[in-house]
Amino acid sequence: MLVLVANLGSTSFKYRLFDMTDERCLARGSVERIGDAESKCKATIGDWSDERTMSIPDHGVAVEACLAQLTDPEHGVIRDASEVAAIGFKAVHGGRLSGVFRIDDNVLEAMAEMNAAAPAHNPPYIAAMKAMQSRFDLPLVAAFETDFHQTIPKARKEYAIPRKFADEFHIRKWGFHGASHRYIATRSAEMLGRDDARVISCHLGGSSSLTAIHNGESVMTTMGMTPQTGLPQNNRVGDFDPFALPLIMERTGKTLDETLSLLASQGGLLGLSNRSGDIRDLREAAEAGDANCQLALDVFVEEIRRHLGGMMVALGGLDAIVFTAGIGENDAPIREAVCANLEEFGIVVDSAANQALQGEASFHDDVSRVQLWVIPTNEEIVVARQTVSVLQS
């Protein structure tokens, strides 16, 4: 069974094609600048890479362009689109729907109800799903990011707000990055050789979150009602006191929408540093003496450690910390700073192993009671597995 997994942005489409008989990735590719006269369409199939520039007006045409590469007479891996069993989407917020579903009008309506909570994610996904429905006669499946966090105890996912708001408007701590944390839950159990481990998954990248995992299930996470919350993101504010909003609006003359847009695009590490939201840029500038860039790095680490401590208490102890995603997998100084001075909690870093680490590997010292790992995430294979499950059910 072949499954195409789609990861969408407002002007982008990234995909992987899996053969689910053995979970091999047969091809991967992307389309950038959808809507422009000169969109970039890339594909990698085995040793062959292809890049084309063409006009891609919408996501439906983007899929057609990718299928053209996948069916290339000389290098393609399929003869025609009918060989693809389904397209699976790493969808973000379904509100009243949290799980994995065949896409129909009810799913699209549920996503539209959450447009205000996920304005950068839901509208482009809805538009793309509708475009693909009209062009392709094959199943479309939405795997919502919130699904993995449904096992979190109620006391850890409710806000202290009027009951009416929570019940009628679905306002609670939903959690996100579910596919990534689910993959870490599965893979860490394999690496530790046990299913009952207490693990903290640190998904650190342009968008970051921590999740506490016990018995393979999410029991606590940092993101709340929207992907804007939790840790400081590259350009999103993270946790923030909503009662500061009227003051900002009063002093700047901005509307609520304008203020929220500013906090969602100019906050986070970018806002703290007044320079960049990229950790690499921040470290280079900090080493050159930029105090604001150093502050951004320090705040990022301290927020990770604050949530890490709370999760250790919630788990009643800890067996492993796993770092994943762009920063987690590639930034040794961030990993070391997060784990620094925690020897009393059984967390001891092997600095040399941490610095030399590449790919999937551990970096804890022999005396460390808590194992420290880097495990590259694979969100797409999780969505592919969920898509197959829906088709078979």
Spatial strand order in the sheet of 100-102: 48-54, 39-45, 24-32, 12-19, 2-9, 84-91, 140-144, 100-102
- Strand ranges inside 222-326, DSSP E: 320-324
Residue pLDDT tens, the chain, 393 long: 999 998 876 677 888 999 999 999 999 998 888 888 888 888 899 888 888 888 888 777 888 888 888 888 888 898 887 889 999 999 999 999 999 999 999 999 999 999 988 887 888 889 888 888 887 788 999 999 999 999 999 999 999 999 999 999 999 999 999 999 999 999 999 999 999 999 999 999 989 999 999 999 999 999 999 988 999 999 999 999 999 999 999 999 999 999 999 998 999 999 999 999 999 999 999 999 999 999 999 999 999 999 999 999 999 999 999 999 999 999 999 999 999 999 999 999 999 999 999 999 999 999 999 999 999 999 999 999 999 999 998
Q: Is 329 annotated as a binding residue?
A: yes
What is the structure's pLDDT at 2? 94
Distance CA 23, CA 76 (A): 18
What pLDDT is recorded for position 40?
87
pLDDT at 198 (0 to 100):
98
Residue-wise burial string across 9-23, b where 16 or more C-beta atoms lie within 10 A, e elsewhere:
bebbbbbbbbebeee
pLDDT per residue as tens digits for the range 136-194: 788 999 999 999 999 999 999 999 999 999 999 999 999 999 999 999 999 999 999 99
pLDDT at 222 (0 to 100):
98
Beta strands in the chain (DSSP E): 2-9, 12-19, 24-32, 39-45, 48-54, 84-91, 100-102, 140-144, 198-203, 209-214, 217-221, 320-324, 361-362, 371-374
Residue 328 annotated as binding site: yes
Helix axes 122-135, 59-70, angle to 10 degrees: 60
**pLDDT tens digits, one per residue of 90-124:** 999 999 999 999 999 999 999 999 998 888 788 88
Give the neighbor-by-neighbor strand order of the sheet with 320-324: 217-221, 209-214, 198-203, 320-324, 371-374, 361-362
Q: Which fold has domain 192-374?
A: Nucleotidyltransferase; domain 5 (3.30.420)
Gap between the Cα atoms of 273 and 282, Å rounded: 8
Q: Is 7 a known ligand-binding residue?
A: yes
Do you know the residue count of the chain? 393
Task: Establish whether 152 is an annotated binding residue.
Answer: no
220 Cβ contact list (under 8 Å, min separation 6): 152, 156, 211, 212, 310, 311, 314, 315
In angstroms, the CA 379 to CA 363 distance is 23
Q: Fold identical between 2-144 and 192-374?
A: yes
Within 10 A of 249 (CB to CB), how many other CB atoms are there?
14
Amino acid letter, residue 104: D
Rounded Cα distance between 194 and 177, Å, is: 23
Per-residue pLDDT tens digits for 302-323: 999 999 999 999 999 999 999 9
Q: Where are the domains of the chain?
A: 2-144, 192-374
SS3 (DSSP) at 95: coil
Is 326 annotated as belonging to a binding site?
Answer: yes
95 is in an annotated binding site: no
Cα separation values, 321 from 129, 132, 318, 343, 379, Å: 36, 39, 8, 14, 19
Task: Supply the pLDDT for residue 67.
Answer: 83
- 278 annotated among ligand-binding-site residues: yes
What whole-number distance in Å separates Cα of residue 383 and Cα of residue 393?
15
Superfamily of domain 2-144: ATPase, nucleotide binding domain (3.30.420.40)
What's the pLDDT at 10?
Answer: 61
The answer to whether the annotation marks 35 as part of a ligand binding site is no
